[in-house]
Amino acid sequence: MRLARFAAATVVFAALLIPTTANAAPAVAPGDTVTVPVRDALAGLPVRAEDRTGYERSKFRHWIDADRDGCNTRAEVLKAEAVIAPTQGVRCVLSGGEWYSPYDDRYIDGPRGLDIDHLVPLAEAWDSGAYAWTAKKREDYANDLGDDRALIAVSAASNRSKADQDPSTWQPPAEGYRCQYATDWVADKTRWELSIDAVEQAALTEVLSHCPDVPVTVALAR
């Protein structure tokens, strides 16, 4: 995996909704880590209508080179997720290598056939709360290397088929990946404290009703 799973102490996700008292679990804050069964995590997401007013992709600055090592976020994901490592040239130009695209259960030779997908698309994030964020927080979201689920290398064809759709209108063509996709979607929305709409909630509930109720561990974004 790209980064070690979060090692901070875990707390019950329901504490997000419970006021702190002498007998209650402590409230959690950005930077804390929570662990909860995925169906409970889904139930904990606020349900609100979505509004795309004012959205522009340019409001989410990407791809940046956060650690100034010469490789931007796209390249960092490609290097981390390669099944066979690519060759890295001048200015972090990558060549060769092989990747697995879980959306459509395909292996891809070379980086040109790949897109880096925001699991929860930028437009969907905007609809779900990012419209109220600062420019810096939107940049952090668009370049999130702090959670392996946020950005994923997939075939360009599958990513462009998905576009900015949520699980109510798009599911991975590879049916065997759909439980993982729904679980990761809920984890990503939990991490960034984003809302879901009623139709999205129904779609996720239906998918997850056929999946193991696995625990998800999430570090809440700062």
pLDDT in tens, 23-74: 434 567 888 999 999 999 999 999 999 999 999 999 999 999 999 999 999 9
- The overall average pLDDT reported for the chain is 90
Q: Which residues of 204-216 are buried (b: 16+ CB within 10 A; e: fewer)?
A: beebbeeeeeeeb
Model pLDDT for residues 61-112, shown as the tens digit of each residue: 999 999 999 999 999 999 999 999 999 999 999 999 999 999 999 999 999 9
Size of the chain in residues: 222
**What's the pTM?**
0.88
Q: Which of 135, 197, 194, 191 is nearest to 166 (CA)?
A: 197
Partnered with residue 217 across adjacent β-strands are 35
116 versus 7: which is more confidently predicted?
A: 116
Structure confidence at residue 196 as a pLDDT band (50, 70, 90) = very high
Per-residue pLDDT at 27: 64
Q: Which helix (H) or strand (E) element contains residue 88? A: strand 87-88
Q: Are strands 106-109 and 98-101 parallel, antiparallel or unpaired?
A: antiparallel
**Whether residue 19 has pLDDT greater than 90:** no
